Amino acid sequence: MPNHCFLGFFIMSFLISAKGIQPTHGSLKPQKVQFQSRNFHNILRWQPGSSLTTNGSVYFVQYKMYGQREWKNKTDCWGTTALFCDLTNETLELYEPYYGRVMTAWAGSYSAWSRTPRFTPWWETKLDPPVVTTVQVNASLLVLLRAPELPYRNQNGKNTSMENYYDLVYRVFITDNSLQKEQKAYEGTQKTVQIESLTPRSGYCIVAEIYQPMLDKKSPRSEQRCVQIP
Ligand SMILES: *[C@@H]1O[C@H](CO)[C@@H](O)[C@H](O)[C@H]1NC(C)=O
Ligand SMILES: *[C@@H]1O[C@H](CO)[C@@H](O)[C@H](O)[C@H]1NC(C)=O
Ligand SMILES: *[C@@H]1O[C@H](CO)[C@@H](O)[C@H](O)[C@H]1NC(C)=O
Ligand SMILES: *[C@@H]1O[C@H](CO)[C@@H](O)[C@H](O)[C@H]1NC(C)=O
Ligand SMILES: *[C@@H]1O[C@H](CO)[C@@H](O)[C@H](O)[C@H]1NC(C)=O
């Protein structure tokens, strides 16, 4: 029937135009809101909404500990144009779960809040590689390892190491440059490792990593330290 056809067309155009005048809230909503944490340095990061017109957006950040009723404003990131917010000082209870959330404002419109998954610093922080120094004594090599430090001092004003929070296992790898073959030289909890009877007039490179047995996680590898045995 022609009348039905006309009605169908009418409804279609109505739906299309209704979609067209829909407010842009959904598309302004920040995406991929999540904590990124290294050595308990906890940064909230997000991406702009899918709307193409988000240039000039500002963002508002709130956080809370799991179980708390009220969200707290993060004043330093209230109306920020950045796509991150440092929440290290707001997430100091390393065994407690937290949430963060972000809202966009653009040209007088506000998006809905976009929330992170639950974030527990102790479970989720990633360790930096150990700091490696080498001391060469004739044909042996002393490898000194240092665990990464927290971004803040403890109550006594001292640097605090990640060792205070995890059992750490250090792995040291050595490559004989003439053979181009890497071997594990050490795995254990000591931070001073001696590697002996290296071949004279050979070059060696050392790298190290940290392994967390309880979490079955390992750090990236350290920078290489290379030596020439006289
Ligand atoms: C975004 O805004 C800035 C400053 O207002 C302008 O220089 C830039 O060209 C804009 N970028 C886009 C993609 O519109
Ligand atoms: C957060 O900031 C907004 C805007 O300034 C204010 O209305 C609100 O009361 C603040 N919330 C808290 C918990 O301080
Ligand atoms: C965290 O708190 C310390 C000490 O109060 C302060 O020096 C530092 O600037 C704060 N960092 C951030 C990102 O707010
Ligand atoms: C290193 O080698 C020199 C010469 O062979 C020797 O005199 C010296 O005692 C060695 N040093 C160490 C710490 O073994
Ligand atoms: C403590 O940490 C600061 C900043 O990370 C660093 O510059 C300093 O060397 C550290 N001190 C010690 C004793 O490790």
How far is 204 from 194, CA to CA, in rounded Å? 14
* pLDDT single digits (tens) 128-180: 999 999 999 888 999 999 999 998 887 777 889 999 999 999 999 999 988 88
Ligand 2 close to Cβ of residue 70 (< 6 A): yes
Q: Specify whether 81 is located in the same domain as 181.
A: no
In Å, the largest CA–CA distance within the chain is: 99
Average pLDDT, the chain: 87
From the CA of 70, give the closest atom in ligand 2: 13
Q: Specify whether 109 is located in the same domain as 10.
A: yes
Between the CA of 82 and the centroid of ligand 5 the distance, in Å, is 28
Nearest CA owner, ligand 4 atom 7: 138
**Three-state DSSP state, 143:** strand
From the CA of 138, give the closest atom in ligand 4: 1
Nearest CA owner, ligand 2 atom 7: 73
Ligand 5 close to Cβ of residue 17 (< 6 A): no
Q: What is the DSSP string of 170-223?
A: EEEEEEETTTTEEEEEEEES-SEEEE--PPTT-EEEEEEEEEETTTTEEPPPPP
Q: Specify whether 198 is located in the same domain as 175.
A: yes
- Please say which residue of 75, 106, 124 terminates a domain: 124
Number of domains in the chain: 2
Q: Specify whether 105 is located in the same domain as 21.
A: yes
pLDDT for the residue numbered 187 = 97
Work out the end-to-end distance of the chain between its first and last CA atoms, rounded to an integer number of angstroms. 97
Which protein residues are within 6 Å of ligand 3, measured from CB? 86, 88-89
Residue spans of alpha helices (H) in 21-172 = 25-28, 121-124
- Domain of residue 150, residue span: 131-228
From the CA of 151, give the closest atom in ligand 5: 5
Q: Specify whether 176 is located in the same domain as 95.
A: no
Which protein residues are within 6 Å of ligand 4, measured from CB? 137-138
pLDDT for the residue numbered 51 = 78
- Please say which residue of 124, 157, 176 terminates a domain: 124
- Report yes or no: 62 and 71 within 8 Å, Cβ to Cβ: yes
**Domain at 203, CATH number:** 2.60.40.10
Measure Cα distances from 93 to 28, 192, 193, 212 in Å.
Answer: 32, 31, 34, 20
- Report yes or no: 170 and 187 within 8 Å, Cβ to Cβ: yes
Nearest CA owner, ligand 3 atom 11: 89
pLDDT for the residue numbered 11 = 40
- Report the candidate in 121, 54, 44, 116 with the shortest Cα–Cα distance to residue 83: 44
Ligand 1 close to Cβ of residue 81 (< 6 A): no
* pLDDT single digits (tens) 19-59: 433 444 448 899 999 999 999 999 999 999 887 666 789 99
Q: Specify whether 30 is located in the same domain as 92.
A: yes
